Amino acid sequence: MKRVLSGIQPSGQLTLGNYIGAMQNFVKLQETEECYFMVVDLHAITVPQEPAALREQTEAVAALFIAAGIDPAKSSVFVQSHVRAHAELGWMFTTLAYMGELERMTQFKDKSAGKESVGAGLFVYPTLMAADILIYNADLVPVGDDQKQHLELSRDLAHRFNTKYGDYFKVPEPYIPKVGARIMSLDDASKKMSKSNPNPGSFIALLDPPDVVRKKISRATTDSGREVKYDPANKPEVSNLLSIYSHCAGQSIEQIEAKYDGQGYGAFKKDLAEAVVSVLEPLQAKYNEIRSSGAIHDILKQGAERASVVADKTLADAKELMGFLAPKR
């Protein structure tokens, strides 16, 4: 079995894009691989967070993992800050990273643009992300296109450590599905669907009620013309909606194109809304059950304990290779 590691930040509401681009893949991967899925709360604080909101969102994201089909008996589900080795190895990798390569990170440039001051955490958090991945010696890392640059840094740091201190870390590979890896905004298909978008109509939140989902999809931007065709270059808006439909209904793009041949966008969007609702309603029911039962706390405790067994050994090995004096036992 290959080892898989991925995580989602507890900032804002998780969206249908998170579900299709990440969580659906998590569910598939746990059937064949050894999986570690975490709520990355240490990454969330690279920008200011309200304490009560951070706690609530951390629990909510963890519960949505389980509601989406991640089985805590098959996968380790945990909160990043509950496994302390992440932060320590993150600092060690910060000392191996160069200013220039961190300055080139697209997400840092985007998030710091136009701001008078930027927190140092936002600048160095890619080295913590590298530690998240490498501390489990992960073989595969499910990432969206926008995270490939950070994975490349993780690969570079693994090579750098191995060259300097001895061959220890695996060099991880990205896992990127061909269709639906990056679900785009409902109001502008040139931008990724994001929970941080100030326009709530641009994304479908996993906890949106059915009527809200239907309204958002009915108002989703479409291209000129009437043809329901997958053509990202010339019809990006409809192509994005087709990707969503395909993943929610379990049908191929070709099947959906044939179904709406000559019908225009009206019937297509109406049925798309029902396909999305049919996915979200059972997920929301299971989420509410998990939250009301309080079971998520035991799940996270057990997940952190299993993850710590692997992470603590990796940290101890890496510290020994770097020349740290081990404490007396």
- The residue annotated as part of the active site, out of 2, 74, 111, 286, is 111
Q: Is 195 a catalytic residue?
A: yes
- Residue partners of 104: CB distance under 8 A and separation at least 6: none
d(CA 283, CA 264): 30
Q: Is 328 a catalytic residue?
A: no
Contacts 24+ apart (CB under 8 A), 273-279: 273/213, 273/214, 273/217, 273/218, 275/245, 275/248, 275/249, 276/16, 276/204, 276/213, 276/217, 276/244, 276/248, 277/210, 277/213, 277/214, 278/248, 279/19, 279/248
78: enclosing H helix or E strand = strand 75-79
- The residue annotated as part of the active site, out of 192, 216, 235, 269, is 192
HSE of 181 in the Cβ direction (CA atoms, 13 Å)?
14
Tokens of 241: 């909606």
Q: How many CB atoms lie under 10 A from the CB of residue 265?
A: 20
- Residue partners of 258: CB distance under 8 A and separation at least 6: none
- The residue annotated as part of the active site, out of 109, 148, 164, 195, is 195
Q: Is 178 a catalytic residue?
A: no
Catalytic site positions: 111, 192, 195
